[in-house]
């Protein structure tokens, strides 16, 4: 029989980053959210295979881990595009023109909120208040927060992400 290790899809880097987190908590399962985020940082999302390997590493069942994964909106269990747009749909952004921004985004990308463009360039997701309400409307693309996004500067922002 092949050793478990060989079947694992986790890369050495992913393993190492997860193991570094283990030192911060008194038990293995406490690391599971951090571990899924490590994998997501490397692969964009958490596949069934990744989920199984993380569960093995942390001595949990895959089902148990999946029930945690599905609770949290920042853990993606489906593939996403090369860039993820998260547009704030909370109250201050709504007052400052979220509806117009959403329409514009959907038209420009040809997708609805929750979908990925046909060329896999962008996934468009809603997000709750990003704590930048004095610069509303705002959105995040990948790791970058963009302030005061409106119909005029939207194209310019999107151009940065190929």
Partner 1 sequence: MATEKVLTSNIRPDLSYVDIAAYESSGGYEGLRKAMTLAPGQVTELVKQSNLRGRGGAGFPTGMKWSFVPMGADAPRPKYLVANADEMEPGTFKDRLLMEGDPHELIEGMATAAYAIQADVAYIFLRGEYLLSAERLRRAIAEAYERHYLGKNILGSGYNLEMHVHLSGGRYMCGEETGLLNALEGKRANPRTKPPFPQVSGLFGKPTIVQNVETLCNVPHIVKNGPGWFKSLGKTQDSGTKIYGVSGKVKRPGLWELPMGTTVREILEAHAGGMRDGLKFRGVLPGGASTDFLVADHLDVPMDFTGVAKAGSRMGTGTMIVLDDHTCPVGMVRNLEHFFAQESCGWCTPCWSGLAWAEKALSAMEDGQGQPGDLAHLEHICRLCAPGNTFCALAPGAVEPLQSALKYFREDFERHIAEKRCPWRSHE
Closest CA to 17 of 6, 3, 43: 43
Applying CB under 8 A, among 18, 39, 55, 86 the residue interacting with partner 1 is 86
Q: How far apart are CA 82 and CA 14, in angstroms?
A: 20
Q: How far apart are CA 122 and CA 113, in angstroms?
A: 11
The verdict on 89 binding partner 1 (CB under 8 A) reads: yes
Nearer to ligand FES by Cβ, of 50 and 90: the residue is 90
Q: How far is the CB of 128 from ligand FES (least distance, A)?
A: 8
Q: What angle do CA 43, 109, 157 make, to 5 degrees?
A: 80
Nearer to ligand FES by Cβ, of 13 and 134: the residue is 134
Nearer to partner 1 by Cβ, of 9 and 128: the residue is 128
Q: How far apart are CA 13 and CA 26, in angstroms?
A: 22
Site map (CB under 6 A) of ligand FES, residues 132-161, x = contact? xx--x-x-----------------------
Question: Tokens representing 93?
Answer: 């952004």
Tokens 């199984």, residue located: 52
Question: Tokens representing 94?
Answer: 């709504």
Applying CB under 6 A, among 91, 103, 107, 150 the residue interacting with ligand FES is 91
Q: How far is the CB of 71 from ligand FES (least distance, A)?
A: 22
Nearer to ligand FES by Cβ, of 124 and 132: the residue is 132
Applying CB under 8 A, among 75, 124, 149, 158 the residue interacting with partner 1 is 75
Alpha helices in the chain (DSSP H): 4-7, 12-22, 32-43, 48-57, 62-69, 91-95, 98-109, 154-159
Q: How far is the CB of 130 from ligand FES (least distance, A)?
A: 4
Residue ranges that bind ligand FES, judged by CB under 6 A: 88, 90-93, 129-130, 132-133, 136, 138
């Amino acid at each position: 029989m092949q050793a478990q290790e060989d079947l694992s899809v986790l890369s050495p880097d992913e393993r190492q980053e997860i193991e570094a987190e283990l030192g911060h908590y008194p038990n293995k399962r406490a690391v599971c959210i951090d571990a899924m985020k490590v994998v997501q940082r490397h692969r964009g999302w958490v596949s069934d295979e990744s989920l199984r390997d993380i569960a093995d590493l942390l001595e949990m069942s895959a089902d148990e881990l999946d029930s945690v994964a599905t609770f949290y909106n920042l853990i993606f269990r489906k593939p996403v595009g090369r860039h993820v747009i998260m547009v704030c749909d909370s109250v201050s952004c709504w007052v400052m023109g979220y509806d117009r921004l959403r329409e514009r985004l959907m038209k420009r990308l040809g997708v609805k909120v929750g979908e990925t463009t046909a060329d896999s360039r962008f996934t468009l997701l809603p997000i709750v208040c990003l704590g930048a309400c004095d610069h509303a409307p705002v959105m995040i693309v990948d790791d970058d927060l963009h302030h005061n996004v409106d119909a005029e500067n939207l194209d310019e922002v999107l151009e940065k992400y190929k």
